[in-house]
Amino acid sequence: MLFKPKTKYIYKLEIHGMRCGMCELHIEDTIRKAVKVKKVVANRFKNLATIYSNEAIDLNSVKEKIEKTGYEVLNIEMEEN
């Protein structure tokens, strides 16, 4: 990713089940609809979705929404800038 926005929080979600570009878009759209974000990027090759936000987000809600779409959230990490 070339552009890394300056935000207070960075969340990294390890997600199992992404197989194609449409899967990445589906994950990104699901996260955008679940919580307020500055930027979200899903990468099927790394099995990773990265969320950039200036606000703390409800990770349980995000995980639940993603898993309702058929993907599995294996791990969540948070960095605070």
Confidence (pLDDT) at 37 = 95
Confidence (pLDDT) at 3 = 62
* Residues 11-52 pLDDT 10s: 999 999 999 999 999 999 999 999 999 999 999 999 999 999
Contact (Cβ atoms closer than 8 angstroms) between residue 9 and residue 57: yes
pTM: 0.91
Q: What is the average per-residue pLDDT within 50-64?
A: 95
Residue 4 has pLDDT above 90, yes or no: no
Domain CATH for 60: 3.30.70.100
pLDDT band at 5, cuts 50/70/90? confident
Residue 1 lies in a domain: no
Two tokens, residue 37: 């974000």
Residue 3 lies in a domain: no
Domain of 18 in residue numbering reads as 9-80
Count of the separate structural domains present in the chain: 1
